[in-house]
């Protein structure tokens, strides 16, 4: 296997740029120049490939992302809480400052009834409802 950069001459430059940007961002958070942002990660209709990529990533690795860059408020795959406790964390973010990550497609047929992400106060919460509610209030999506 040829490991030269002949097929992608800018690869090393791109990897170095990404590394520099990550170190700048982490440094700015550590120096309190920018706040560590809250993150809501909604897994919708999909295969969880983005979550797996995050867990398998490096520069930064998942531990660095979770410990230094963001505060994961909600992610059904990345948090220990489940059921009503998980939904309490999700809905507790309303009115706060957070970034919304949406992984997968949003099922819209029948008001999203085919993708329930949890139950809140005794009723099902669809991915469609969640993406609307949390998307409109997010600092960025």
In the chain, which residues have pLDDT < 70?
Answer: 1-9, 11, 14-15, 18
Report pLDDT for 1.
44
Report pLDDT for 136.
95
Q: Tokens 């999203």: give the residue.
A: 112
Instruction: For residue 131, give every residue at least 6 positions away whose Cβ sits within 8 Å of its Cβ, in sequence order, or none.
Output: 42, 44, 102, 106
At 104-137, the pLDDT tens digits run: 999 999 999 999 999 999 999 999 999 999 999 9
pTM: 0.75
> Domains in the chain, ordered, with CATH?
35-137 (3.40.50.700)
């Amino acid at each position: 296997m040829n490991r030269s950069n002949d097929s992608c001459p800018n690869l090393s430059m791109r990897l170095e740029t990404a590394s520099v940007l990550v170190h700048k961002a982490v440094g700015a958070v550590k120096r309190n120049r920018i706040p560590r942002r809250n993150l809501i990660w909604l897994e919708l209709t999909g295969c969880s490939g983005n979550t797996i990529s995050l867990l398998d990533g490096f520069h930064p690795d998942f531990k660095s992302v979770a410990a230094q860059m963001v505060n994961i408020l909600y992610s059904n795959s990345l948090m220990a809480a489940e059921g009503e406790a998980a939904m309490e964390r999700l809905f507790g973010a309303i009115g706060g400052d957070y970034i919304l990550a949406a992984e997968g497609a949003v099922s819209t047929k029948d008001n999203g009834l085919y993708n329930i992400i949890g139950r809140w106060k005794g009723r099902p919460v669809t991915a469609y409802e969640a993406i609307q509610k949390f998307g409109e209030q997010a600092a960025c999506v």
